[in-house]
Amino acid sequence: MTRFYYLLRLAGKSAWNRRGTLSLVVLSIALSTTLLLGIERIRTQVRENFVQAISGTDLVAGARGGGIQLMLYAVFHLGGATNNMGMQSARQIAEMPDVAWTIPLSLGDSHKGCPVVATTEDFFKHYRFRGDRHVAPARGKVFESLFDVVIGAETAKKLGYGLGQKLVLSHGNSGARLTEHADKPFTVCGILAPTGTPADLSLYISLAAMEAIHLDWQGGALMPGLRITPEQVTKFNLEPKSITALLIGLKKRSRVFAVQHEINEWKAEPLTAVMPGVAMDRIWSMVAAGEQALLFVSALVTATGLAGLVAAILAGLGERRRELAVLRSAGAKPADILILLACEGFLLIMTGMAGGVALLVLLIVSLGPLLAGSYGIFIYLSPPGTAELLTAGGICLAGFAACLIPAVRAYRMSLADGLTISI
């Protein structure tokens, strides 16, 4: 043990004497470690943000169709529903004994490429993401007047909107030339705090407002010769007849399968109910190939850094033949030389990894709030997960294996290699 400790100290002093050259190798390993562990951290937490874009909701119900499609347009507002579910069915589901709350959603309109979501104040009371976080205005209030609109943080930033801004919604959510509801403008009454969810890119109005702007529409087009002014809409019944989807929270989660079965067997109309967690996992599995490709690229960068370490030590062997020969003549065994170079390489690996971890922590602390505030991407410090520990262990083992290459070569050198003077 004393001999090993002596060799370890000798390896450290030898590396320090060549710190100018080896510092570049350590920097390369540090950057590789930062990249690999950083990508793993981003991949893990972005997936967590994605999966937890909706939490606390036990079921999502809509017209009969695929569960993934239902989640895409109900939660992420992508695509469109092939059909709507009746508001009468939504009321009956809300009155079921096992149901604690429901959030009706109606989609179909847009504003400059951003989806418009019609809902009730229950959305701001019960909708949760990433555990128990809720959607709330950072400025202003939830819509109080009929033609009030609450906009997401990213929408406000992208379009440069502020409180009191007047805007006009468009009928439909796709196509280059959408018909606008120009006769019924909305006023921005609130701007949501960044959430890292689709809420950042959405606009929220009341269900009554959605009905109001479509009173003089039929079959997706304006009714000829009929115009209903904003002042006249209050004379009409603004209760919606149908909605796009219904978010459901249960009193007891153990009843989720029973309620899901009851909704799937709904007699009044064909409906589908899906569990968000199951559907989200299926959606994420669709992008698994890109996720693995990203990890593969970062692994190649790490391998390049380790290759640079091996190249630097091998290149230095020629200059260190005399030094190694002196050690041999002083009584060092070939095995001692092998241990010496292996320890030297391992110290470089550990120093580089420590620097890489420190750099990653610094980047998360400094850029985390900026990403959260500007883009809604939440990357934060937390204890390393199993995948990160395995990644760090893999780097360590791969680096130690790489260090054995020059160590074995030095082990095979004879004493005469370093004492012979070449002319």
Burial-class residue 205 by CB neighbours within 10 Å (0-12, 13-18, 19+): buried
Cα angle, residue 213 at apex, residues 209 and 219 outer, rounded to 5°: 125
Weakest-pLDDT range from 72-86, 178-192, 275-289, 319-333: 319-333
Looking at residue 311, its pLDDT comes to 72
pLDDT of residue 374 exceeding 70: no
Predicted pLDDT at 282: 80
Q: How many angstroms separate the CA atoms of 126 and 135, rounded?
A: 9
Number of H helices, E strands in the chain: 14, 17
DSSP per-residue letters across 135-183: --EEEE-S--STTEEEE-HHHHHHHT--TT-EE--BSSSSSSSPPB-TT
CB burial of 383-399 (b: ≥16 within 10 Å; e: otherwise) equals eeeeebeebbeebeeeb
Alpha-carbon gap, residue 344 to 15, rounded angstroms: 7
- Mean residue pLDDT across the chain: 80
Contact 172, 108 (CB under 8 A): yes
How far apart are alpha carbons 320 and 190 in whole angstroms?
A: 70
Closest CA to 402 of 292, 306, 318: 306
- In angstroms, rounded to a whole number, what is the distance separating the alpha carbons of residues 353 and 87? 58
Cβ atoms of 142 and 191 within 8 Å: the answer is no
- Confidence band, pLDDT 50/70/90 cuts, at residue 233: confident
Specify the pLDDT at position 177: 58
What would the pLDDT profile of 28-83 be if each residue is shown by its tens digit? 888 888 888 888 787 777 777 777 788 889 999 999 888 888 888 888 888 777 78
Q: What percent of the chain has pLDDT over 90?
A: 26
Residue 217 has pLDDT above 90, yes or no: no
Closest CA to 307 of 96, 88, 3, 32: 32
Q: Which residue has the higher pLDDT, 316 or 138?
A: 138
Task: Evaluate if residue 420 carries a pLDDT over 70.
Answer: no
**pLDDT tens, 92-149?**
999 999 999 999 999 988 888 889 999 999 999 999 988 888 899 999 999 888 999 9
Please provide the DSSP assignment of 319-367 as one string: HTHHHHHHHHHTT--HHHHHHHHHHHHHHHHHHHHHHHHHHHHHHHHHH
* pTM exceeding 0.85: no
For the chain, the residue count is 423
Q: Please state the rounded mean pLDDT for residues 404-416.
A: 63
Cα distances (angstroms) measured from residue 72 to each of 128, 257, 268, 352, 411: 17, 21, 25, 43, 61
Query: Which whole number is the average pLDDT over 306-332?
Result: 64
The predicted structure's pLDDT at residue 40: 79
Lowest mean per-residue pLDDT among 161-170, 222-231, 323-332: 323-332
Enumerate the domain spans of the chain: 2-51+287-419, 59-285
